[in-house]
Amino acid sequence: MLSLLSIVLSLTFLSLIIMPCLFVSWRLRVPLSITNIRRFIRTAVSQCNDKEESGTIGEKEKGGRMPKHVAIILDGHRRWAEKRGLGPNQGQEAGARAVMENIKDYFSMGINTVSLFAFSTGNWGRPGDEVPYLMEMFERIAKSEMPNLRRYGVKVSVIGKRTNIPESLIDLIREAEEATKNNKEKHLIWALDYSGKFDILQACKSLAEKAKNGLINVEDIDENMMDKELMTSCSEFPNPDLLIRTSGEQRISNFYLWQSAYTELYFPSVLWPDFGGTEYLEALDWYQKRQRRFGRRV
């Protein structure tokens, strides 16, 4: 009788350990390992702590151990394709699939805003049929993924110039933004034909025009006013806490130049199409360690 009871208790104990592990592996689509389980536990605990502290400590003082806004520069498509003997367009397709396959996971830890640097203003100079192919691919994604984004409750915003983007894609962008504008807890920002320099320039021009028309006084212009004129003002959390650039390149190029003044910069060597749930969890774990060690920079 005691032996049977011991077996039952042992199986119960093992199930209490194994089931959460299997859930984490399935939920984040990461390999089942002790390291990933530990990372998940740390991020989950930090998320709970942030919620408990948010009502008692000011935004600047509380530190925010989990980022509210994660920005990602999707880099490495071409090198990923070259390593496999593929063309650049096939690398872009693989990168797009990586985004769509992981879109839910980007928000899984209570992260509110995710920015994706999908197409730089400088990318218009790419050779051959790459740019037309990218525009066509963006249209396909907008059409096929909109039902999923609605179902996930994701608000969609697209920032950047719109003068050179095909009108058919512009129509899809407007439709997506209108259909998801009331969603609050998850916000996906696509930077399309975006330039950090242009963003700063258009914000300065807007402030200058308002000053010229007597709507504001020049001496009243400050950082807060500037923040409100930038394209990222569409987000509740306009400045990213964590910026990830894949492929090992250690620079942010022409992306979020103003907004990244106090951002933690993370440069994994993995090429974008291979950046999945495990790598994202590693980035969040790295961010948490930085927060515990150095605190929030303001």
> Do 282 and 269 touch, CB atoms closer than 8 A?
no
pTM, to two decimals: 0.80
pLDDT in the model for residue 17: 56
Cα dihedral 195/71/169/81 (nearest 10): 90
Residues 46-95: pLDDT tens digits? 445 554 444 433 343 344 478 999 999 999 999 999 999 999 999 999 99
For residue 26, which phi and psi values (nearest 5 degrees)? -70, -45
285 an active-site residue?
no
According to the model, what pLDDT value does residue 12 have? 65
Q: Could you read off the pLDDT of 151-177 as tens digits, one per residue?
A: 899 999 999 999 999 999 999 999 999
pLDDT at 44 over 60: no
Closest to 166 measured CA to CA, from 144, 137, 200: 137
State pLDDT tens for residues 199-254.
Answer: 999 999 999 999 999 999 999 999 999 999 999 999 999 999 999 999 999 999 99
The pLDDT tens digits for 273-289 are 999 989 999 999 999 99
The CA-atom distances, in angstroms, between 179 and each of 39, 112, 149, 150 are: 35, 18, 10, 8
- Mean pLDDT over 103-124 rounds to 91
**What is the per-residue pLDDT for 253?**
92
Average pLDDT score over residue span 117-130: 92
Name the active-site residue from 75, 193, 241, 285.
75
Predicted local confidence at residue 61, as pLDDT: 34
